Amino acid sequence: MNTEKNPVVERRQGPDLWVKFLKAAAILVWLAMLVILLIIDQAKPEFENFFSRLFNVTLRQDWDTDILAYAFYLSVLMLIFSIFTLLVNRKRHRRKSDRYSRSVIIMIFFSTAVILFYFIKTYL
């Protein structure tokens, strides 16, 4: 019913505080994922190479659970933050042009996977 008598007026002046928050949150969760992956890389078992055999270096054969705990705690924080961000996104999702943040949804699955990985490596 868009006639000349009743034109649709776009009242949005630009992105508000919550839209800016959602964009910043997407960047923040990707950075947190990168940090988690770096922590997991440090916690994994060391691999034997030419120099470790040459100099008879003893290598850690299993996962370092102390370092892996940092990845677990950061994943729990990221899961809570991602769920909060998804709830804010849901509250802001009113128009057809509004979209859910795929980054936040992906990070919910990623942080859940890291939490499960921690429990598998620690308790099984």
Asked whether residue 106 is domain-assigned, the answer is yes
**Is residue 4 one of the residues assigned to a domain?**
no
Is residue 69 scored above 60 in pLDDT? yes
* pLDDT of amino acid 70: 98
pTM more than 0.75:
yes
Burial 82-115 (b: 16+ CB within 10 A, else e): beebbebbeeeeeeeeeeebebbeebbebbeebb
Q: Is residue 66 part of a domain?
A: yes
Question: Is residue 48 included in any domain, yes or no?
Answer: no
In a domain, 36, yes or no: yes
19, two tokens:
């839209």
Domain that holds residue 117: 30-43+62-123
- Residue 2 confidence (pLDDT) above 60: no
Does 3 map to a domain? no
Q: Give the residue among 122, 28, 21 at the shortest CA–CA distance from 71.
A: 122
Residues 46 and 31: their CA atoms lie apart, in Å, by 25
How far apart (Å, rounded) are the C-alpha atoms in residues 52 and 11? 66
